[in-house]
Structure 1
Amino acid sequence: MPGAALASDLGALTVAVWSMVACADAARRHPAALRRFWLLLAVTMGLAAVGRALWTVFRLTGDDLPHTPLIGAVFTAGIVTGTAALLCAGSAPRSLVGRARTVLDGMIVALALIPIGWVLVFRGIAAADLSDPLRTFGLLYPMLDLMQLTILVAVAGPGRPVWLPMTLIGVGLAVRVVADAAYVSLFAAGEYAPGHPIDVCWPLTYLLIGVATRHPPPHRDAGDDKRDSPLPPRWRVALPYLPVGGAIVAVVLTRRPTGQTPPLVFAALMALLAALALRQGLAANENLRLVARLRHLAYVDQLTGLPNRLTFVRRLRAGLRDKPAVAVLLLDLDGFKQVNDRFGHTAGDTLLAGLAARMRAAVADDGMIARLGGDEFAVLLAGGRPVTPERLAERLLAALHPSSGEEVVGVHPSASIGIAEYGPRHTSYTDLLRDADIAMYAAKAAGKSAYRRCTPALRESAVSRAELIADLRRAVDEQQLHLDFQPIVDLSTGTVRSAEALVRWRHPRLGLLSPARFLPLAEETGLVVPIDRWVIREACRAAASWRDRLPEATVAVNIAAAHLRRPDLVATVTAATGEAGLAPQALTLELTESALIEDTDAVLDRLGRLRELGVRIAIDDFGTGYSSLSYLHRIPATELKIDRSFVSRIPEDARAYATVEMVTRLAGAFDLRVVAEGVETDGQHAAVAAIGCAQGQGWRYGRPASLAELHGRAGSGAGAAPGGGSGAGAVPGGGLKAGAVSGGGPDPAGRVTGAAESGLTLT
């Protein structure tokens, strides 16, 4: 069928040229990462077109099946460039070892199928002329096609969405496998002639590659290059080894009666063994690299490159076995949480990496520094060290000090360092780390950016502190807390308008504890929130009880900063007033300026919803914060409480007098009521009354007492009497004020009270 043969050849040539142009155009349109892939496919299609042209020319000149060296070289070059294109696909291995492993997988499959193919097909070629090596090599094209198909499966990207062009190319390779296998079978049987229907398959493979160029490139996320490659499925791992068993059986079946194996099968078997040996060698090398990487991941902190906790503990335990005279420095960065909250975790990670590099340089060869986790680091000094722990701590603090031009506030944290040396009291490395931790917290308590050495006194204090925290966790549930009340009077009439409640702890072993003993621990451990809830609930109940006698009574509760940030604050307040039967208008929430520093939109929204319910908002300790005036615009406040530090200095200090007067006028401009805190003398009372403060609070008007005592004072009518110590009373018609904050002055133990860092005043 000369006409069919010519049409087949010209059709294949035309489609190959079109596919070449399409691949070249795709290389121009697609991103740089895929440019080499499409260019190599264009070269492959070009070689296919050249091979087809030579085949047609030689066939028309008299050779029906022109297996010439030139044509064989052209088609072989096309197989090489096509394989190289697959290895340049976006999902192909990036490393040279990975690409070599992929090629070997394809070669193993191809070589294993040669003995199988001999049993199924090649035995029938005995009558054919196999003396020509080029003609024999042409019979191996199906195996080379299977090699390429195996490589495509390997690089298709297991675990990722399949890119459609790779699917089309895979279908084209499968069609070519069928076409070449059919050609070999027909050739062996002497039934192939140019123009056979099987000839349609080759231009179809070119067509599928050309169609693949019409599809857009795969979508790539920004983190694709950094993302870990997904694990391949098990069948993919076993793929190159599946045909090997069949190849062994086929070798046995191909043995001739003389006991000899056909040369082609023997050569394929030797090549298969060599490929398997090389593949296993690459696998062993890859396993070694994987073990090394896993070890690196297990013992090195990935962010800073420093040894991690596991490495530090291993070195510490080894040091204690060899040279017990070791020391540990435990470092905790001060204020690092604020960096993350203000600038984000990315900025925090960058800062951590920079600080780690500084500390590594400061330690140098005098010890080993490790990152234990978060913003906590540790340094191990072995026995016979050339530097003392104190000297090394000073070097570390100096290294963390910001250099010229660096931002300091809120960006560059300092560190608190605890030092512990191994001694008779330590039974294990955990005891040594515990002592270093105790000393580190002592350094924080000393003002931060400092170091402390663990001493027996610090160790005993830490044990007592831990026991107190454990007892505090049970205090609310076991009803060990109670409230005392201190009146607040109307300066114009002398009537009691409210009373501030001070939380006390009746410890079963230590007796009555003031807030100064336990509120700081509550803030550190998060227990301040359940304590706050208890205070709100009990204060509302007390106000409801008093309003039975005095219908105009109100209650105010101081809210801790941690509670203010909780989304359930509104629900907590609503539930407390509802359970007590107290109108929301009878409740005032006091917020210290330190609690309002992070006035996020969420906090402002919560306060706005509380005001909509009728709850009043007071700013406590006004004048001691950083942005007092800004609060008056942003916070829906109804009153200001002037801090006792200003009231205590009047009338002797003219500037304090002017400050109180200025705040009072400012509050009047914003329609806010003013309460003067810490009024203790007649002179202070006269001064704040003359300035125009609406209310006053302090020992002059009454000491803290129980609710029953406050009821009794309310009937005495002595609210504004001078010298109102514990016997000073209150007149009817006033209200009640409650909160976990003291009113001022010394507590029963004689300590002067002040505002805690969280906003809770300690008495």
Structure 2
Amino acid sequence: MGRERAGASAVSREDVGRTAARWPGRDRVGRAGLYAAGLAVVVETAWLLLKLPGAALVSDLGALVVAGWAALACLGAARRQPPVRCFWLLLAATMALAMIGRTLWTVLRLVGGGLPHTLPVGVLFVAGLVTGTAALLCSVTAPRTAVGRVRTLLDGVIVGLALIPVGWMLIFRDVAMADLDEPLRTAGLLYPMFDLMQLTILVAVIGPSRPVWPVLTLLGASLTVRAVGDTAYVSLAAAGTYQPGRLVDVLWPLSYLLIGLATRLGPPRYRADPDEAAESPLPPWWRVALPYLPVGGAIVAVVLASRPDGYVPQPIFIAMMALLATLALRQGLAANENLRLVGRLRQLAYMDQLTGLPNRLAFTRRLRAALLGTNRVAVLLLDLDGFKQVNDRFGHTTGDTLLTGLSRRMRRAVGADGMIARIGGDEFAVLVTGSPPAEPERLAERLLAALQPSPGEELVGVHPSASIGIAEYGPQHISDTDLLRDADIAMYAAKAAGKSAYRRSTPALRESAVSRAELIADLRRAVDEEQLRLEFQPIVDLATGAVRSAEALVRWRHPRLGLLSPARFLPLAEETGLILPIDRWVIKEACRAAATWQDRVPTATVAVNIAAAHLRRPDLIATVTEATAGAGLAPRALTLELTESALIEGSDAVLDRLGQLRELGIRIAIDDFGTGYSSLSYLHRIPATELKIDRSFVSRISDDARAYATVEMVTRLADAFDLGVVAEGVETERQHDAVAAIGCVQGQGYRYGRPAALAELRAVLTKAALPGGGGSSR
């Protein structure tokens, strides 16, 4: 079988069908030939079983006819299946050689009257073995490299040579040495040896993880039948009892028939993947040990065949010498392959497979080696901005293509001034050394310029920018890890500065990053160690001054830094996900606090801010219900304040979750209203109960006509949607008068009270609830 090119597509059954449609009579002719060949084998078998006259001639003619038909069938298969055409052509040549050899055998037998063990017959037999073995080595599952094919061939030769001493002991041991003087007769032992060699190759070429092509299965059955026939023939010929026309003669045409039958099967139904061999699992142990298992039997056979004086029959001696030479060649080939594999593995260990750049391991090794020298060493750490959006929008295939192109640009930009490596998904690093070294800032500018999109790429919209951090090795660095850490800190500073920029590491940046990391670590312990506390800012009725609600505001009393405002630690909590346990604690404590004033001011509620991350979690409802039930607080006494931006980003599942909270009685307030972009389109869907006008409008209401108009518009909008309105950030009397005149119902700010502890809020509520206290909510 000819070797199809790696990666060629397998022929589909539709292609075969179209071929048959162009020659409608071809398929009928093929079936007729198969029936005729099968009939020939059946007739020959019956003739030999009944021992009718002319059995030898019938046997020879049957084998000749079936071999000729199998050759034609293989030629037809070669035309129908172009990707595996060479495979079928080699099998056709094998069958043609078998037919020619059988013809010569028959003629010489009829002329000479005996078994024609002649050189021409042997040459034809060996030629057929060569073409048949070449077909096996060119099958769709055979090794794709020349070294792999040679190794597989040697495996088969080792098995065949190892079985020669075993066959000698089984067949020729009891034959007188005088009867073995005819070389061509004793050479008949090579027949089964070559059959077993081809069977070994067939087993070796069938991939352990690939689908087995049914053609190879039938080919294995054909080789097995032929091996049985050749073994029986050699045994009978050695004993001098073989006569043409015996039942064993049916096995050869039967093996040809199986090959012809294989041509009726379809082509391979999978693609030959050039990288499949690298990804295939390890073969089973018996596949690895297959060529070496018969060697032990060969050694035992040599010992048994040796005479007491140490004489070893010449065929066994030659076979063992050839076996040792083949084993040495096979082991040398294996050692060479191992060396190449080690080199390939070393290359893979230090190379990024997508971009071809050095990977993190190679970069780290080069960096550590550079730090041992005396030259200046600098590191540029580069992170692509917005690359995740490329993967999310266009898929990872487009992202990989983009990464490959960008890596080529960056490699050209760096040139000989440094070593660039890919150390992460969209992270790259450049090592700058030398005396004098290239200026890292100029190199960073070249990299940013190289990453600028061309006009065509700007239209596509898939070209990210980059942020670069620069760190130069100095006395403050103990190891390469410290240098990379500083470069990483500088890179994040570049991102914070607006991206598509570079920043050099400075002591101030490093100190800020260390402080930030320490603050995050302390924040993780804050909830468990009860370092958080709540303060409450009243929300009053603008008409009466009565406290209608209170917003719970979290504070952090740091054991070393003192009282920290929310602006200091809540952004860190949101970045790290710590906002979720903080939110849960705030909801629980706020409900417990509100339960303590319900007996004095039953209508006063408590408001709690909820982060966007918590809003997207399905356990929000369970958190709220457990907090209210645990505190014995009615759900109507709790208001959840959600930022406008969080609601805009919310999905339908978020809106459904808010609807379930409203059904429970929980109130929903939209905080900082007016700072978003599209809440008006969502307002009719959000199950809100009130709007909180952002303080940025209230602070300018007395001096800015536009701010006044905005507050007035929001108030009217709330009235249209039957929502309550809270004006935030009311600090002066003029602001109070303005929002009251507009029609805001409630207000919040320093004008009515600063955030205070629960005890102070309860005192205010108690005073307001007393008769004559003014502003009573009763």
| TM score, norm. by length of structure 1 | 0.84
Alignment of 1:72-111 (within 5 A): 72-111=122-161
The equivalent of 1:760 in structure 2 is none
Count of residue correspondences: 722
- What percentage of aligned pairs have identical amino acids? 76
Structure 1 residue 653 corresponds to structure 2 residue 704:
yes
Give the structure 2 partner of residue 431 of structure 1: 482
Partner deviation per Cα, 1:612-671 (whole Å, 9 max, x = no partner): 545444443334345434544665545443333333333433333444444455555555
Shift of 1:40: 4.0
Matched residue, 2:166: 116
Whether the 8 Å CA contact 1:329–1:419 is kept in 2: the answer is yes
Any gaps of 5 or more consecutive residues in structure 2? 1-50
Partner residue in 1 for 2:418: 367
Residue 403 of structure 1 corresponds to 454
Which range is displaced more, 509-518 or 56-65? 56-65
> Which residue, out of 150, 166, 177, partners 2:227?
177
* Counterpart check, 1:393 vs 2:444: yes
Aligned-partner Cα distance in 2 for 1:79–1:571: 77
Question: Does residue 581 of the first structure (1) align with residue 581 of the second (2)?
Answer: no
The code of the aligned residue for 2:329 comes to: L
Deviation at 1:24, TM superposition (A): 5.7
Query: In structure 2, what residue type is equivalent to 1:196?
Result: R
Distance 2:460 2:740 in 1: 40
Q: Deviations over 1:331-388 (max 9, x none)?
A: 3333444444454444443433333333222222111122222333222111414422
Q: Deviations 1:145-169 (Å, cap 9, x if unpaired)?
A: 1111111111121245555543343
- In the TM superposition, what is the alpha-carbon distance from 1:694 to its structure 2 partner? 4.9
Distance 1:341 1:618, change over 3 A: farther
- 3-state SS of paired residue (1:101): helix
Letter in 2 for 1:435: D
- Alignment counterpart, residue 473 of structure 1, candidates 521, 524, 527: 524
- In the alignment, structure 1 residue 541 sits paired with structure 2 residue 592: yes
CA distance in 2, matches of 1:526, 1:186: 84
Equivalence for 2:252: 202
Note if contact 1:701-1:729 (Cα within 8 Å) is conserved in structure 2: no
Provide the residue aligned with 2:22 in structure 1: none
CA drift of 1:176 comes to 2.0
Larger relative helix fraction: 2
| Separation (CA, whole Å) in 2 of partners of 1:285 and 1:467 | 54
Alignment-derived partner of residue 155 in structure 1? 205
Equivalent in the alignment of 1:743: none
TM-score of the aligned structures, taking structure 2 as reference length: 0.83
User: SS at the partner of 2:279?
Assistant: coil
Supply the distance in 2 between the matched residues of 1:546 and 1:715 (Cα, whole angstroms).
8
Query: What's 2:240 paired with?
Result: 190
Matched, 1:512 2:563: yes
1:732 aligns with 2:745: no
Q: Could you tell me how far apart the structure 2 residues matched to 1:85 and 1:547 are?
A: 92
Name the SS for the 2:115 alignment partner.
coil
Q: Distance in 2 between matches of 1:670 and 1:28?
A: 78
Q: Which moved more, 1:75-84 or 1:246-255?
A: 246-255
Q: Partner amino acid for 1:483?
A: L
CA distance in 2, matches of 1:605, 1:35: 63
Query: 2:341: which partner in 1?
Result: 290
Displacement of 1:142 in angstroms is 0.7
Is residue 366–residue 385 contact of structure 1 (8 Å, CA) maintained in 2?
no
Which stretch shows the higher mean deviation, 645-654 or 216-225? 216-225
Contact 1:33 1:90 in 2 (8 A): no
Q: 1:220: how far off?
A: 4.0
**Once structures 1 and 2 are overlaid, which stretch shifts more, 107-116 or 77-86?**
77-86
Q: SS at the partner of 2:692? A: strand
Deviation at 1:691, TM superposition (A): 4.5
Q: CA deviation at 1:307?
A: 1.6
Aligned equivalents of 1:716, 1:408: Cα separation in 2? 66
How many Å apart are 1:431 and its aligned residue?
2.5
The answer (yes or no) to whether the contact 2:699–2:729 under 8 Å persists in 1 is: yes
Distance 1:671 1:74 in 2: 101
Residues 65-464 of structure 1 correspond to what in structure 2 (within 5 A)? 65-67=115-117, 71-123=121-173, 124=175, 126-128=177-179, 131=182, 133=184, 137-160=187-210, 162-212=212-262, 220=270, 225-226=275-276, 228-251=279-302, 253-254=304-305, 261-407=312-458, 411-464=462-515
Structure 2 residue aligned with 1:532: 583
State the shift of 1:287 in Å.
Answer: 1.0
Matching residue within 511, 522, 529 for 2:573? 522
* Alpha carbons of structure 1 residues 65 and 443: separation in structure 2 relative to 1, 3 Å: same
CA separation in 2, counterparts of 1:633 and 1:201? 86
Find the counterpart in structure 1 of residue 45 from structure 2. none
* Secondary structure at the counterpart of residue 172 of structure 1: helix
Q: Distance in 1 between matches of 2:318 and 2:424?
A: 59
- 2:248 is paired with a residue whose SS is helix
Q: Is the 8 A contact 1:328 1:436 kept in 2?
A: yes
